């Protein structure tokens, strides 16, 4: 599952309705918000939470709120009646340290709760189960880390997640955004330090392939249109790669990497049969050094291979039988690793 984060005190809040609708249409189903409400203006946050809950209900999305006990009181609730927030569109509460196990277990019997994935121990889980924890209502959420150099290590992260999932628990992690970043540092809000500065889609694919998570939320405020397009394409089963032309060439259709995936390149299954046969690209042209991410077409000198489109996964020497027609942009090169055998991809010229 994919999701976004919405911050009630942010200046952009009132304009987020259309954005929430947009991400829902491309498959995002979850919203996270933080309810650390200052004492001097609780009504402002109450109204905004109710507005956010209304959007969540309108677009059929879950809404999980990170809430402190004092903030709960400001909203007119306590732990005994917190399920009243369900009427506002809040479907779950993220609970961190300092809350009694019996309270957590009781809440899990009324609504979804999210606990800290990094701090739960086997003993802690056993104690919660003794108190009556409803495991099917519980998710394990990692934090995001605004300060550079403080994000989690991927090895320990994955080890923790595998244990949590072996216990039947869902796991969530954050990835950074790439449009409106959240202050005060504006350095992205990832869970893993290695995701700071990478594209949201790359971070998502990395978590999906290697992180043993069930849910991924964008920690920052918004995603750019280019990232939204990549997520939308992936929702349709296609990895979208942005590329620059090196010769005159038209738009290319969705293609599929061969099931018997090659070590050195991505090989289009369709290209020899449908794509480029009979075009000027079969004449030798731009037969240059093939750096990683080069988009190539075998020319007429390659016999039965002519017309085959490839994307190189490593640097390869020039070959007078191979035309280099374009290059995947640097930002999207890491995505090549996720195009396994049988995976569909599409090159988007920019």
188 and 304 in a single domain? The answer is no
Domain finish residue from 202, 237, 272: 237
When divided into structural domains, the chain yields a total of: 2
134 and 187 in a single domain? The answer is yes
Domain finish residue from 191, 215, 237: 237
Expressed as residue numbers, the domain containing 322 is 240-349
Radius of gyration of the chain (CA): 24
Q: What is the pTM of this model?
A: 0.94
191 and 87 in a single domain? The answer is yes
- pLDDT tens, 156-176? 999 999 999 999 999 999 999
302 and 321 in a single domain? The answer is yes
54 and 132 in a single domain? The answer is yes
Instruction: Give the CATH number of the domain where residue 44 resides.
Output: 3.20.20.70
Question: DSSP code of 137?
Answer: G
265 and 331 in a single domain? The answer is yes
Our separate counts of H helices and E strands in the chain read 8, 15
Q: Which residues contact 316 (CB under 8 A, 6 or more apart)?
A: 264, 265, 289, 290, 294
CB 171 within 8 A of CB 214: yes
Q: Residue 326: what are its φ and ψ, rounded to 5°?
A: -175, -175
276 and 173 in a single domain? The answer is no
Rounded to whole angstroms, how far apart are CA atoms 322 and 300? 9
Listed residue (98, 137, 135, 136) closest to 119, CA to CA? 98
- pLDDT tens, 251-310? 999 999 999 999 999 999 988 765 454 555 688 999 999 999 999 999 999 988 999 999
153 and 135 in a single domain? The answer is yes
305 and 338 in a single domain? The answer is yes
Rounded to whole angstroms, how far apart are CA atoms 9 and 44? 9
Instruction: Give the CATH number of the domain where residue 299 resides.
Output: 2.40.100.10
pLDDT in tens, the chain (350 residues): 999 999 999 888 989 999 999 999 999 999 999 988 776 678 899 999 999 999 999 999 999 999 888 889 989 999 999 999 999 999 999 997 789 999 999 999 999 999 999 999 999 999 999 999 999 999 999 999 999 999 999 999 999 999 999 999 999 999 999 999 999 999 999 999 999 999 999 999 999 999 899 999 999 999 999 999 999 999 999 999 999 999 999 899 999 999 999 999 999 998 876 545 455 568 899 999 999 999 999 999 998 899 999 999 999 999 999 999 999 999 999 999 999 999 999 999 99
250 and 204 in a single domain? The answer is no
226 and 263 in a single domain? The answer is no
Rounded to whole angstroms, how far apart are CA atoms 69 and 6? 20
Domain finish residue from 187, 219, 237: 237
260 and 157 in a single domain? The answer is no
């Amino acid at each position: 599952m994919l999701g976004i984060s919405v911050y009630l005190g942010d200046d952009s809040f009132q304009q987020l309705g259309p954005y929430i609708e947009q991400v829902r249409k491309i498959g995002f189903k979850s919203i996270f918000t933080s309810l650390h409400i200052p004492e001097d203006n609780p009504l402002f946050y109450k109204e905004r939470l109710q507005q956010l809950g209304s959007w969540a209900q309108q677009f059929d999305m879950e809404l999980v709120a990170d809430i402190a006990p004092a903030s709960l009181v400001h909203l007119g609730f306590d732990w005994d009646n917190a399920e009243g927030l369900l009427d506002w569109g809040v479907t779950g509460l993220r609970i961190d340290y300092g809350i009694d196990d019996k309270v957590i277990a009781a809440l899990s019997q009324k609504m979804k709760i999210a606990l800290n994935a990094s701090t739960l121990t086997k003993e802690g889980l056993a104690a919660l189960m003794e108190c009556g924890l409803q495991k099917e209502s519980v998710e394990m959420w990692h934090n995001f880390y605004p300060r550079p150099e403080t994000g989690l290590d991927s090895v320990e992260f994955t080890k923790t997640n595998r244990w949590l999932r072996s216990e039947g628990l869902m796991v969530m992690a954050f990835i950074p955004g790439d449009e409106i970043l959240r202050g005060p540092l504006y350095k992205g809000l990832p869970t893993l330090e290695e995701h700071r500065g990478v594209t949201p889609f790359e971070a998502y694919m990395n978590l999906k392939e290697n992180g043993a998570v069930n849910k991924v939320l964008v920690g920052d405020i918004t995603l750019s249109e280019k990232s939204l397009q990549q997520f939308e394409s992936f929702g349709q089963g296609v990895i979208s790669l942005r590329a620059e032309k090196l010769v005159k060439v038209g738009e290319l259709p969705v293609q599929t990497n061969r099931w018997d995936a090659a070590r050195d390149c991505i090989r289009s299954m369709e290209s020899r049969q449908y794509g480029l046969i009979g075009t000027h690209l079969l004449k030798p042209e731009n037969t240059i050094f093939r750096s990683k991410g080069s988009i190539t077409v075998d020319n007429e000198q390659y016999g039965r291979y002519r017309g085959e489109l490839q994307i190189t996964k490593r640097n390869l020497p020039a070959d007078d039988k191979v035309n280099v027609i374009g290059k995947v942009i640097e930002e999207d090169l890491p995505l090549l690793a996720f195009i396994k055998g049988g995976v569909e991809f599409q090159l988007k010229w920019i």
